[in-house]
Amino acid sequence: MIIVSSLDIYTILHYLWKTKNLLVYLLHCDLILLFIKYLLHMSNSCYSLTATVSLNP
């Protein structure tokens, strides 16, 4: 039982540490803006591609 408890605590601490790093990474404004620009660029490319395909069968 003691081993299981310590493993659970370790897992929770490890998860919190990973989540903290992920939050720090996501809260970096430049990265968020780059990601949004990338998503917009990709969606625009997909939209123009599908529009071109549907206009020129």
Q: List the Cα angle 23/25/29 in 5-degree steps.
A: 105
Full DSSP string of 19-42: HHHHHHHHT-HHHHHHHHHHHHHH
Domain boundaries, the chain: 2-55
Does this model's pTM top 0.75?
no
- What digits encode the pLDDT tens for the residues 8-41? 777 877 887 787 777 776 666 666 677 788 878 8
**Residue 26 · residue 18 · CB < 8 Å:** no
CA distance 55 to 50: 8
